[in-house]
Amino acid sequence: MRAVWTVCRRECSAYFASPIAYIVIVIFLLVVGWFFFSTFFLLNQASLRAFFRMLPVVFAFVVPAVTMRQFAEEFHSGSCEILLTLPVRIPEIVLGKFLAGTIFVAALLVPTLAYPWLVAALGDLDPGPVIGGYLGALLLGAAFAAVGLFASALTKNQIVAFLTGSAICFGLCLVDQMAFFLPEAAARPLAYLAADVHFENIARGLIDTRDVLYFASLGFLALYGTVLVLEEKHG
């Protein structure tokens, strides 16, 4: 477990040494800022609803952009040859990188805490949905970080990793809206796959084990897949 932390620390410092991290942070804050302030000024509402509603789709693109380099860059530069011959287990490497991705997602969310603060200052803030919203955002971000990591382990091309990762994440956000034309029996299980539905449940302040379990299993599946992909080549 010590190795997980070592890998994670290196990943975190690598994030903040690259300009991509800062570009992603700026784009993320601009986009979510626009969603927040458009309702704030245009509709004269001090509410976090629009912010949280758009978060899954925004994360579907932002999180894979954060994680795309994690393995792809190592394969490209060859540094994976050193990493994978250190006396560290592959699951430890994967977990370390996943943890770093999740920490970065959490760091993305920190500046947005200004919105609930603003809402609380101007009007009535219902703390339940806000706490739920941030908890859900963290779960969603972590699950997407695992998916992005998996995509990154498939290729040495960061662009391919980004496109694969966001295609999966975006697909998971849309699947419930695409299911309406299917028969009820098929639509129901398909809707369970929808990341945005589970996120909205939590963001309402309703923390249900089913929703938590959904993100946990999505994350686990993606991480397990990552380990398998790496062990296939380098076991």
Partner 1 sequence: MIQVERLTKTFGAVPAVDGISFEVRRGEILGLLGPNGAGKTTTLRMLTGYLAPTSGRIRVGDYSIPEDLLEVKKITGYLPESAPLYPEMLVFDYLAFIAAARAIAPADRRRRIEQAAELCGIREVMHQPVAEISKGYKQRVGLAAVMLADPEILVLDEPTSGLDPNQIVEIREIIRRIGKAKTVIFSTHILSEAEATCDRVVIIHRGRIAADRPTAELKEALGGKSRLALLLEGADAEGVERVLAPVPGVERLSCGPPDEAGRISVAVAVAAGVDPRAEIYRRIRGTDWTILDFHLQAQSLEEVFRELTREE
Question: Which residues are at the interface with partner 1 (CB under 8 A)?
Answer: 2-3, 6-7, 9-10, 13-14, 17-18, 77-79, 81-82, 84-89, 233-235
Q: Work out the number of other CB atoms within 10 angstroms of the CB of residue 218.
A: 23
Would you say 87 or 183 has its CB closer to partner 1? Answer: 87
CA angle 161, 1, 59 (to 5 degrees): 30
The alpha-carbon radius of gyration of the chain (Å, integer) is 18
Eight-class DSSP state of 154: T
CB 153 within 8 A of CB 71: yes
CB of 82 to partner 1, least distance (A): 6
CB of 219 to partner 1, least distance (A): 24
CB of 8 to partner 1, least distance (A): 11
Would you say 54 or 90 has its CB closer to partner 1? Answer: 90
| DSSP code per residue over 199-233 | HHHHHTT---HHHHHHHHHHHHHHHHHHHHHHHHH
Would you say 12 or 147 has its CB closer to partner 1? Answer: 12
Would you say 79 or 177 has its CB closer to partner 1? Answer: 79
Would you say 89 or 188 has its CB closer to partner 1? Answer: 89
169 to 45, 76, 80: CA distances (angstroms)? 30, 24, 26
Would you say 18 or 38 has its CB closer to partner 1? Answer: 18
139 to 16, 111, 219: CA distances (angstroms)? 22, 18, 9
CB of 91 to partner 1, least distance (A): 12
Helices (DSSP H) in 110-194: which residue ranges?
A: 114-122, 127-153, 158-178, 184-192
CB of 83 to partner 1, least distance (A): 8
CB of 18 to partner 1, least distance (A): 7
Helix %, strand %, coil % of the chain (to 5): 85, 0, 15
